[in-house]
Each structure stands twice: as structure tokens, then as C-alpha cells.
Amino acid sequence: MITTADTTPRLEVRGISKSFPGVRALNTVSLRLMLGEVLSVVGENGAGKSTLMKILAGVHSPDTGSLFVNGRPVVLRSVRDAMSHGIALIHQELNLADNLEIGANIFLGREPLRRGLIDNATINTASAELLRRIGLNIPPTALVRSLTTGQQQMVEIAKALSINARVLIMDEPTSSLSAGESERLFHVIRDLRSQGVSILYISHRLAEVQDLSDRVAVLRDGENAGELLRDQISHDSLVRLMVGREISRFFTRTSHQPGPVMLEARDLTTTAWPRHRNSFSIRSGEIVGVAGLVGAGRTEMLRTLFGVDQPLAGEIRVAGRTTLLQCPADAIAAGIALVPEDRKQQGVVLDLSIRRNISLASVHQHSQWGWLNRTVERAQSAEMFQRLRIRAPDDSARTGNLSGGNQQKVVLGKWLALRPRVLLLDEPTRGIDVGAKQEIYQLMDELAGQGLAVLFVSSELEEVIGMSDRVLVMHEGRITGELPRSELTEQSIMHLATCGH
Amino acid sequence: MNGKITGILSVLLVLCLSLAAATADPWYKLLESQFLNLDNLMNLLSRLALYGILGIGVAFVIISSGIDLSIGSLVCLCGVLLAILLKVDYQPERPLSVISIEAASRLITVAEAPRSLPAGTVVRFTGGVGSGLVLTVDSVEGDRITVRETLKRDERDGRLVQAVAVTSMSSDGLSLQVPLLNSASVGDQLQLFLPDGAVTTQKIVSVSTAENFTTLGLARDPGSKYRSGASAVLLKRSQRTPIPAAILLVLLIAGGLGLVHGLLITRLHLQPFVVTLCGLLIYRGVSRWLTNDNPAGFGELQQVLGPVASGRVGLAYRGEDMVFGIPIPFFLLLLIAVLAALFLNRTIWGRYLLALGRNEEAARFSGINTARITVLAYVLCSLLAAVGGMLFAIEFSSISPSSFGNSFELYAIAAAVLGGCSLRGGEGSIAGVVTGTAVMQVLNNLIVLLKIPQSLEATIIGAVILLGVLGDELVRRAAARRRLKS
């Protein structure tokens, strides 16, 4: 390991702020990355980590604040700019052309030429050298497709090294790796560190962070929440910095006497996590939150309950009757509705009007011989438009022109028109402004009051705590705990969500 | 969506007006232009009708965000199938296959012993070198027939057909009597021949049977030489399938092919482009194989079928002559267009089609069986291709299987795109597609009327479509910029 006699930071961020329409993603964040250091950046979902990484990699430019590379101020206008300053970002999703060879991928866009033709000999020698450096014992002529995910990640790293990157930003690199592959990756990271490469490491897995980091910077709500040095890093200290704030008071929750069990899963196994069985039940009038980190298997659970994915094993009971859900239509017929995570892709058809979106799922109920009943459709849409206070000139407006919050209300309107018994919501308030959030919370409470069973997945601990009667916490495909309302704290949830015991 | 129709409608209008002006002399006497000539307009409407039907079909598939490249070949296959199913044949009853003829002993050996062939019966030999010989039976022994005439040489590979003698014929030649002939019926043919080999075939228009003779009415006078001494062979008419059954069968086959396309695309997740490209090749090949690459037609049925494709409902007459009439296929197009528009806009399936074309996933998440609706789109497209194909075949009267329907799919797709269908799916209107087809046909007309070399046709149509799509894109961008500013 190189000693830190050199005190000029490799990369420094001073007072950077960045806003997107409706959201302040970063607020005067500062960060220093030293030579040959592994600095982890942690924080809850939405704390601003990805925005920060994208600014460092030249994808976004900051509204205010400045960047320094080796003490000199720089402006990064593009990814190419960042690369020329020796900064490379390795995305969570790999960016490789898997139909090409390893060497071709490493030198993609920068192919060495010889008499106007690609010089494969040079590519292969140089690639072999890079692969050797990161300990990947595979010929550079192998197709990327034939590699495992872990090996592909190594190719990404080799690619970053090939541009002589001095700063490597890794965004959740282990999210799709097996334990063994992760171990290899850590080995390579330590190796690179000893070669003087600085690494900015982003991960949800606190154990990894604890293991690997020289230093940890914690972000919370787009601001610096604190920093921990090597010997201060512990699971508890990390969680305390990540959460630990007062819960705002805008959650509407009136208590209802829960009714009979509406939805029950027994030993349910999803395709995403074939080894884990989960059982739970939700009563009528109850709001149950599902907490967990991104990738904990919460969305897969909802998809299975809605018939989008088929369970590998186990049974689903709706209102006490075992129900086979082979497609969303089956789930809808059983009285289950899903407000999906990807609103624009799965929730609404952006090019259709509000009215057509609201009626999409229920229009067949009022049709005779397939004939649309436009009178009922219009009345129903008008009712939902008013009841949900959708902000648009009228219900013939194109749904794609609405704000995220209003689009979400359209999705809700579509389901409420069907009078479901069970409402599943996946990240219902993601990307939605505060006002609309509050309206959605109110609506959830109101629906529970009318006897609906509500199950909602959320990565925002505040709303999980604020809205739930009960919380199921998931970790890597398993429900690791169930917390009653009285025991809901951010610490208790984070504890179950990160280590599971 | 309405904006798009207005756009293409104004293009059509401008195109029509300028073409009228360009073909008038002087230019402002539009009503006397070649373009607005009534015959030209009738012709144009007729083409619009046929291509429009194909366009509507392909619009369904495009709206589902798919593509159908097979309809040109399907048009050909349906035309060929209709011709084959409606094939009419005239065959004598119970012909005897000849195995050998021994000229010296006047002996003819047939494949099977004849049921009844009394001495004196006239038979006619067809096929082989001695075709047309008229012979009289002397005696029959099993499968060996001895005749009275001297045979010139040994023969084989022919048929013997039993004939009856014509007992009398009216002086105008339009009716004749033969010994009792129970099997004759109106529509059959009567082949008359003389011992010298002269032969003529006439259609039977009436049949009346008395105690022991039959009186037959003929469509035309066979000529005075047949008044005495003629023999006759009855040729029974057989049509493979009745017309309604044939049409139904073609529709069923086409619908079935559409179903196969749809299932391959939705169940096996093959790409629509690939599936229908294979269809294009397969149906073309099958059509050529079924017809041995020979032109197919409807023969005598053309007279019955013809009016469906080329008949007109008269609107203006000069004396007895019709000056202007709406082609019957145009009414069919109107009917189909109205039904299609109702389907698209007023039924839940049309609604689902528009939704899933734009966002299949959201539609599926709303509980819509998107696979079923997609399959429906392909079935409808193939059915309409069959309707169009049959009409085209009847209109052309003779279709050559290697070229009939070539690149119709591209014209249909182009018309749909011109009419506002987006190849991304989920967008399009029936009125737009019909207007788009009209633009294509007027362009085609323009090439003919302005005497532009026919070889440039494809180039000009291609260029105009490109300009149209380009213009649409520019307008769309300008609108987006304006929205952004406000």
C-alpha cells in the first residue's frame, strides 16, 4: 500500500448541489478521494449517491460547486471528459457488447489501427497484459458472452484500466455476483489499491463496506451526513448515520379494526429467489409495508402475487380460497390490483388519454358483445378524476403530459374503478412531489378504512414507518422479520434489512 | 390523430387539383381534364377500393406494433385457390380407357368390360393419333369390342365414349331430340359430331324428357351440317366447389394462416418481420406450384363473378350508356372501413389493440390478454388480404402466379404509414389509411396521365412517401418546440 504522504486528493468535490425538476438531489456535498484509497459512499435509497456518481463520471453537470482532479479544477462535460482525467465509472448494469471478444470490448471506440485496419495483434497483447494484471486467466479472444457475470465485471475493470484510469467508481458492483465472485472482486480491488488506483465504492451491503473501506462517507437526503474512518466503521455506526432523523408528520393514519384475512401467501417461492419460502397474510383494512434494500426480492414478490411471474412453489389464498394466478387477468378477477414500480412502462400507456387509461382494466365490465359503453366510461373516469383530484385540464388530456404524481393517480384510478379487495403498491411515491405523496398516503388510509387489504413496498423508511400497521422486512429474498407498528423504528428495520438477524 | 388525417387529406386534395390542372387544356378548365374524366375516376375508385381493403387489414397489424409482409403473396394464393376451387370441367360419363386397338381385326380392348354396349351403338374415340374417330359397335365380348369400321392403324392410349344418335333437330338448330338421356341437365354440354370427324360443342339451355326421348335446347345453332346424321355425347358439367363454399373456404384458409402468424409471434415470440417474410416466400411458392406456374382464371364463371369486381352502380347515364357509376368494390370498401372503424374505436378489442400497440406491458399489467388481441390483428389482416385477393383475381380475370400481388404488401404498408399509422404501433385511423391509399392511387394515376415512364413509378411513389413522412416529422417537431416554449 502506498503511504498517504501525498496529501493532494486525487479527486475532490467541493460544495456540489444538483436539482432535478421537483427534487433536490444533492445539497452542498463535499468529498475527497486520496491516492490508493478505497472510499465507500453509503446512504439510503434516494440519498443522492447515484447522482453524485453520475456527476463524477461526467454524465450530469452540477448546478453549483466544483470538482478538482489532483488539485486542479476541472469541468467534466461528458463521460469522455471524465475518462481523459482518468475517471472511469463501472455501472451497476454492465455495458459490454457480449457478441464481441474481450479484447474488442476493452478497446471499443479506441481501436489501435495498422494501415487503416484494426490491429488485433496489439489489442490482444495489451488486453492479455490487462487481464493478467487483474488476475483473470482467460484469453482476450474469448467472447464476452461466454463469461460469467463476475468475469464480465472484470472485463469492465480491465477496460477502465486500459484508459489508464486513476479513479474507479464502482456502483453496486456485487449486486449480481455470487459470494465467490464477490470475493474475487474484493481481491482485485485491494490489488488495484496497492497499485495506486483510487476507488470510490458504492454498496448497500454494509458488511462489504466494513470489510473493504479505508473510509466511508455517508449521504442522507442529498447532504453529507458524516464520515467514518477505518477503525470507526461498524454496522451500527453506519446505520446510525444513514438514518437517524425525525419522521415528518405528514402521514395520515387513522386506526381501523382489521377484518378477516384477505390475502395469504403460504410457502411462496419466487423465481428470483428459488431457495426461500415466504409466508405472510394481510387482513382487510390493514396496511402492511414491505421494507428492504433494492434487490431484496420485494418487487418479485408483488409480481408473483399479481400473476405476472409464476411462483415456483407455495400457494396464494385470496379471501380464504386458494387461487391460481397465471396472468394479471386472473389476479384482477380475484380482486387484486397492482400499482407497479415502473409507472411509465407498466402503469400507464403514456400516449392514451387519462380517461382511456382509467378505463383500461374495467372497460370490459360495462361492455356488451364487446361494444364499448362510453357513457359509463365517461362517468367513471370523471368520478375518478374528481375523487383523486388529478390535476389536468380534463380527463381527455394525454397521460404522458402529467406529472409523476398525477400519473400515479391515474394508475390508482384505473384500479379503484374495479373496486379491488387487495391493493398492491410498488414504490408508490417514487419520483413524486411532496403534495402528491401526501394525497396518496391519504388515499391509502381511506381505502384501508373501506376494507381493502393494502400491501406496499417502499424503500423510503419514513413512509414505511408512517403508513404501516405492520412491516415485513426482506433481505435477499427472505422475509427476515415482521415488526408491529409499536416496534417500528428506522434502526429496527435497517437492522433486519441489512444483516437479517 | 385528427391533425394527421387533415394533413393527408389536404395532400390528397392538392394532388388531385394539381393533377386536374396539369391534364386540362387550358389548365383552368378542370372539369374537362383527363384526370376528372369519368372513366378515369371510375377506374381510380375501383383501384382505391381493392388496395384500400388490403391497407385496412395491414393497419390492424401495424397498430398492434407488428408488420405483415406476406399479404402480397397471400393475395396471390387466395386468387389461385379461388380459381382452383371454382374450376369447371366437362367430362363425358363413363368413358372407357382403351388399352389397345388391333386395326386388322377391328378389335378394341378396353380396361374394363363395359356395362352395356349393344350392337349398333355409336362410340367416339378420343385421345391418341386417331382422335375423333366415330365408330359403330358390332359386338362386345368381355373387354373386347369389335367395330364395323375399318381401322387405319393400331392405336392405344385413348378413350371410347358412348354416343347417342340425334334423332331430329329443329330447323333453327336450337333444339334437338335424342333417345332417352336421363342424366342431361341444364348447364351441361352436348358434343355433336359427324362421321367425317367434324365436331362442335354446345351448351344445353333446356331439357325436357318425354316417354322415350329427350328434347334438348342448345344455346347456339351448331350449323346446318349437323341437322342430319349427327351423333352426340353428353358432357357433364362439374364445378369443384359451389361459389359461396369456395369463398368461405378461401377465407378460412387465409384466416388460418393469419392465426398461425399470430401464434408464432405471440406464443413462440418470433419476430413479426421474420414470420411474415417467410409467409411471403412460402405462399408465393405454393401458388406457383399449385398452378404449375400457369396463369389461373375462372373460365366461364368469370361472367358470374365479374360484376362483383368490375360491376358499377350507375349514377349518370347518356341514353342507355352508363357514363358514371360507383364500382361495387367501392361499396365493399366503405362497408369494411365503417366496420373496421367501429371495431377500432367502439369495441373493447379495438381499444385494447390501441393500448397494447403503444405499451404492451402496461396493457398486460391491466389484465388484458394481449396475445389474443395480437393474434386477432393478424387474423383480420389475412382475412382482408383474402377478400382483396379474391377481388383482385376476379378483376384481373387471369392471374399469373409468379407476379400477381407482387409488392402489394409494401404499397399497403406505405398507404397505412401515409395515413398516420406509426410503425411503433398504437396509432392510426381507418379514415387515414383509406386516404393514404387514395394518395397512392392518385400518384399512380399521375404517372399514367402525365406520361411519365412507367419504369419510374416505384421511384416516384417512394420519393413521395419519403417526403410525406419527412414533412410529418418536421411538423411534429415544430409543434413540440411550440409546446415547449409556451
- pLDDT digits 0-9 by tens, B178-198: 888 878 888 899 888 887 778
Asked if A80 and A171 sit in the same domain, the reply is yes
Q: Give SS3 for B409.
A: helix
**Residues B423, B435 contacting (CB under 8 angstroms):** no
Q: pLDDT of A289-328, one tens digit each?
A: 999 877 788 999 999 999 999 999 999 999 989 999 999 9
Chain B hits for A415, CB-CB cut-off 8 Å, are none
Quick check: is A181 in a domain? Answer: no
| Main-chain phi, psi angles of B136, to 5 degrees | -120, 135
Residue B376 has pLDDT above 90, yes or no: yes
Closest Cβ opposite residue B355 in set A331, A340, A349: A349
On whether any CB of chain B is under 8 Å from the CB of A352, the answer is: yes
State pTM to two decimals: 0.79
Cell of A432: 413524486
Q: Which one, of A407, A268, A287, lies nearest residue A340 by Cα? A: A407
Closest Cβ opposite residue A370 in set B349, B365, B426: B349
Chain B hits for A345, CB-CB cut-off 8 Å, are 359, 361-362
What is the average per-residue pLDDT within B443-455?
89
Domains: count for chain A? 4
What is the average per-residue pLDDT within A93-116?
86
For residues B360-374, b (16+ Cβ closer than 10 Å) or e, as one string?
Answer: bbbbbbbbbbbbebb
Asked if A170 and A114 sit in the same domain, the reply is no
Residue B96, pLDDT score: 85
Domain B2-87+242-485 has CATH 1.10.3470: yes
> Distance (Å, rounded) from C-alpha A358 to C-alpha A373?
14
Q: Rounded to whole angstroms, what are the CA distances from A42 to A52, A99, A168?
A: 11, 34, 16
How is residue A352 annotated by DSSP?
Answer: S
Query: What's the gap in Å between the CA of B221 and the closest CA on chain A?
Result: 59
Q: Which one, of A430, A498, A463, A501, lies nearest residue A42 by Cα? A: A498
On whether any CB of chain B is under 8 Å from the CB of A100, the answer is: no
> Distance (Å, rounded) from C-alpha A498 to C-alpha A239?
9
> Distance (Å, rounded) from C-alpha A271 to C-alpha A44?
26
Chain B hits for A363, CB-CB cut-off 8 Å, are 348, 351
> Distance (Å, rounded) from C-alpha A298 to C-alpha A45?
14
Q: Which domain holds residue A139?
A: 97-164
Closest Cβ opposite residue B358 in set A328, A329, A352: A352
Q: At CA B119, angle to CA B117 and CA B121, rounded to 5?
A: 65
Cell of A304: 408473483
On whether any CB of chain B is under 8 Å from the CB of A308, the answer is: yes
What confidence tier does B50 reach under pLDDT thresholds 50, 70, 90?
very high
Query: What's the gap in Å between the CA of B356 and the closest CA on chain A?
Result: 8
Cell of B109: 380392348
Q: Which distant-in-sequence residues (6+ apart) come within 8 Å of B139 by Cβ?
A: B119, B145, B146
Asked if A151 and A206 sit in the same domain, the reply is no
What confidence tier does B156 reach under pLDDT thresholds 50, 70, 90?
low
The alpha carbon dihedral of A88, A91, A94, A97 has a sign of negative
> Distance (Å, rounded) from C-alpha A454 to C-alpha A252?
14
First to last CA, chain B: 21
**Residues B227, B348 contacting (CB under 8 angstroms):** no
Task: Show the DSSP H helices in B302-429 as ranges.
Answer: 302-310, 328-346, 348-358, 360-365, 370-396, 408-418
Q: Which distant-in-sequence residues (6+ apart) come within 8 Å of A116 by Cβ?
A: none
Chain B hits for A338, CB-CB cut-off 8 Å, are 365
Q: Which one, of B39, B43, B2, B34, lies nearest residue B16 by Cα? A: B34
Q: Which one, of A304, A343, A328, A298, lies nearest residue A440 by Cα? A: A343
What is the average per-residue pLDDT within A256-271?
90
Return the minimum-mean-pLDDT range out of A173-182, A436-445, B158-167. A173-182
Q: pLDDT of B245-292, one tens digit each?
A: 999 999 999 999 999 999 999 999 999 999 999 999 999 999 999 999
Check residue A471 and give left, alpha or beta (phi > 0: left; psi -120 to 50: alpha). beta
Query: What's the gap in Å between the CA of B348 and the closest CA on chain A?
Result: 5
Q: What DSSP string runs through A425-440? A: EESTTTT--HHHHHHH
Q: Say how many residues make up chain A.
A: 501
What confidence tier does A4 reach under pLDDT thresholds 50, 70, 90?
very low
Chain B hits for A346, CB-CB cut-off 8 Å, are 361-362, 365
Return the minimum-mean-pLDDT range out of A100-104, A150-154, A381-385, B405-409. A150-154
Task: Decide if A329 and B354 are in contact by the 8 Å CB cutoff.
Answer: no
Task: List beta partners, residue A337.
Answer: A423
Asked if A464 and A500 sit in the same domain, the reply is yes
What is the average per-residue pLDDT within A96-114?
88
Q: Which one, of B411, B401, B456, B400, lies nearest residue B433 by Cα? A: B411
Chain B hits for A372, CB-CB cut-off 8 Å, are 346-348, 351
In chain B, the percentage of residues whose pLDDT exceeds 90 is: 45
Asked if A315 and A451 sit in the same domain, the reply is yes
Minimal-distance CA residue of chain B relative to A346: B362
Rounded to whole angstroms, the maximal C-alpha distance in chain B is 107
On whether any CB of chain B is under 8 Å from the CB of A364, the answer is: yes
For residues A69-78, b (16+ Cβ closer than 10 Å) or e, as one string?
Answer: beeeebebee
Mean pLDDT score of chain B = 88
Chain A hits for B364, CB-CB cut-off 8 Å, are 308, 327-328
Q: pLDDT of A56-68, one tens digit each?
A: 988 888 999 999 9
On whether any CB of chain B is under 8 Å from the CB of A474, the answer is: no
In chain B, the percentage of residues whose pLDDT exceeds 70 is: 97
Chain A hits for B365, CB-CB cut-off 8 Å, are 306, 308, 328, 338, 340, 346-347
Asked if A225 and A296 sit in the same domain, the reply is no
> Distance (Å, rounded) from C-alpha B348 to C-alpha A367?
7
Asked if A195 and A78 sit in the same domain, the reply is yes
Residue B130, pLDDT score: 58
Minimal-distance CA residue of chain A relative to B352: A360
> A 40-69 residues with CB below 8 A of B?
none
Q: Which distant-in-sequence residues (6+ apart) come within 8 Å of B384 by Cβ?
A: B53, B54, B56, B57, B336
Q: Which distant-in-sequence residues (6+ apart) come within 8 Å of A132 by Cβ?
A: none
Minimal-distance CA residue of chain B relative to A308: B365
Residue A252, pLDDT score: 74
Place of cell 374524366: B37
Residue A315, pLDDT score: 92
Task: Decide if B359 and A350 are in contact by the 8 Å CB cutoff.
Answer: yes
For residues B19-38, b (16+ Cβ closer than 10 Å) or e, as one string?
Answer: bbeebbeeeeeeeebbbbee
On whether any CB of chain B is under 8 Å from the CB of A345, the answer is: yes
Task: Decide if A347 and B348 are in contact by the 8 Å CB cutoff.
Answer: no
Chain B hits for A397, CB-CB cut-off 8 Å, are none
Q: Which distant-in-sequence residues (6+ apart) come within 8 Å of A381 by Cβ?
A: A354, A355, A358, A359, A395, A413, A417
Task: Decide if A360 and B368 are in contact by the 8 Å CB cutoff.
Answer: yes
What's A219's domain CATH number? 3.40.50.300
On whether any CB of chain B is under 8 Å from the CB of A372, the answer is: yes
The alpha carbon dihedral of A12, A15, A20, A25 has a sign of positive
Give the containing element (helix H, strand E) for A282.
strand A278-283
Task: Decide if A371 and B347 are in contact by the 8 Å CB cutoff.
Answer: yes
Query: What's the gap in Å between the CA of B387 and the closest CA on chain A?
Result: 24
B106 CB-contact burial (10 Å; exposed 0-12 / middle 13-18 / buried 19+):
middle
Asked if A320 and A381 sit in the same domain, the reply is no
Asked if A128 and A66 sit in the same domain, the reply is no
Task: List beta partners, residue B325.
Answer: B314
Task: Decide if A345 and B361 are in contact by the 8 Å CB cutoff.
Answer: yes
Closest Cβ opposite residue B364 in set A328, A363, A374: A328
Minimal-distance CA residue of chain B relative to A365: B348
Q: Quote the ipTM score.
A: 0.77
Asked if A273 and A129 sit in the same domain, the reply is no
Residue A249 has pLDDT above 80, yes or no: no
Q: Does residue B95 have a cis bond before it (omega within 30 degrees)?
A: no
Asked if A305 and A424 sit in the same domain, the reply is yes
Query: What's the gap in Å between the CA of B474 and the closest CA on chain A?
Result: 20
On whether any CB of chain B is under 8 Å from the CB of A141, the answer is: no
Query: What's the gap in Å between the CA of B437 and the closest CA on chain A?
Result: 26
Give the containing element (helix H, strand E) for A193.
helix A179-194
Task: List beta partners, residue B216.
Answer: B176, B207
Chain B hits for A364, CB-CB cut-off 8 Å, are 348
Closest Cβ opposite residue B426 in set A345, A351, A374: A351
Task: Decide if B348 and A364 are in contact by the 8 Å CB cutoff.
Answer: yes
Asked if A300 and A229 sit in the same domain, the reply is no
On whether any CB of chain B is under 8 Å from the CB of A343, the answer is: no
Closest Cβ opposite residue B366 in set A350, A361, A367: A361
Rounded to whole angstroms, the maximal C-alpha distance in chain A is 81
Instruction: Give me the amino acid identity at B142.
Output: G
Q: Give SS3 for A86.
A: coil
Check residue A382 and give left, alpha or beta (phi > 0: left; psi -120 to 50: alpha). alpha
Quick check: is A350 in a domain? Answer: no
On whether any CB of chain B is under 8 Å from the CB of A367, the answer is: yes
Residue B155, pLDDT score: 64
* Structural domain boundaries in chain B: 2-87+242-485, 90-239
